[in-house]
Amino acid sequence: MADDVTPLASLSLTHVYYNPDDPLSHLSAFLALVPQALCVVYATLLWSTREAEVLLMFAGQLACEAVNLALKRLIKEERPRQHDLASHAGRGYGMPSSHAQFVVFWAVAGSLFLLVRHRPSLPPGGPRRAGRSLGKTGLGRAGGAAGGVEGAAPSLTDVRRAYCEGGLAAATASMEAYSHAPWNVAQRVLVSAAALVVAALVAWSRVYLGYHTVRQVLAGCAAGAVCGVAWFAVTHLLRETGMLAWGLEMPLARWFRVRDLVVEEDLCQAGWEKWEVRRQEGLEKERKRERMGGPKAGKRE
């Protein structure tokens, strides 16, 4: 009876061998899951934002994987066999490292977008309009006392002075307007540097776990960087030639509500400003309703 039992197989997609007695090996095992986590992030952003730039970057990521598969089949270099852990780790060829190529493409393509293509600006109907609305509730007076420009998004100094002069309510309103500012260049540089550090850690983990040699990882990093720059150039041509705009007018893109706003808008900012304007209008209507309801209540008494 026991001989009829079919042996189970292991799904190697997330199966990582590591030394449980080594904290760095344990950390490396988690770093090996970063590409899978990034795929989940891509899918989540595609579904929640429907942004063309996210779709293009994900398409480039898949193209980079196809290049990695082609290179492995072409070079046919085996994985390292230096110790027992490596003898059980990884199937297929090891040159170049697919993990290294994946994360470096993501880091390079994301950095090029943030530093070159992404040019967010404060829309005329956004924070300035919200600032004018908030001014009616005390923010404008506090901001004016702080030396701020009327109708402009307040600075952190304005927030502090608003608290001193207008109390907690004015400071809260001021902080809301301040926190809605898009990332500046320094912040985008910091995020890009963090992405490159994560990519470097993932690449290092492949050598530490024994899945790849240093040469295979460096080759993967180089291939990922080249693919990232090349794909950025391709997407630039798609925009410049009007092919992206043409694609966004196709019925399928319209049906899925694909849009191209993230180049000029912050992902969190785009919908928030619409909500903030609507919220302020609702509060203003509520205050008017209370003012109109007060005298009527007095007459009934």
pLDDT at 135 over 50: no
pLDDT score of 272 = 67
pLDDT at 273 over 70: no
Tokens 């004016």 belong to: 144
Strand partners, 259: 51
pLDDT score of 145 = 41
pLDDT at 124 over 60: no
pLDDT score of 264 = 79
pLDDT score of 130 = 41
pLDDT at 277 over 90: no
Residue type, 204: W
Band the pLDDT of 162: cuts 50, 70, 90: low
pLDDT score of 90 = 56
Q: Higher model confidence: residue 295 or residue 37? A: 37
pLDDT score of 237 = 93
Q: How far is residue 217's CA from residue 223's CA, in Å, rounded to a whole number?
A: 10
Q: Higher model confidence: residue 106 or residue 175? A: 106
pLDDT score of 150 = 42
Residue type, 83: H
pLDDT score of 288 = 83
* Torsion of the alpha carbons at 198, 204, 210 and 213, rounded to the nearest 10: 130
Which structure tokens are listed for 130? 């919200």
DSSP H helices, the chain, are: 23-31, 34-49, 52-75, 84-88, 98-112, 127-135, 139-145, 156-179, 185-208, 214-240, 243-248, 251-255, 267-300
Note the pLDDT tens digit of each residue in 219-259. 999 999 999 999 999 999 999 898 888 888 899 888 988 88
Contacts of 193 (CB under 8 A, 6+ apart): none
Q: Kindly report which listed range (16-20, 283-287, 296-300) carries the lowest average pLDDT score.
A: 296-300
pLDDT score of 158 = 53
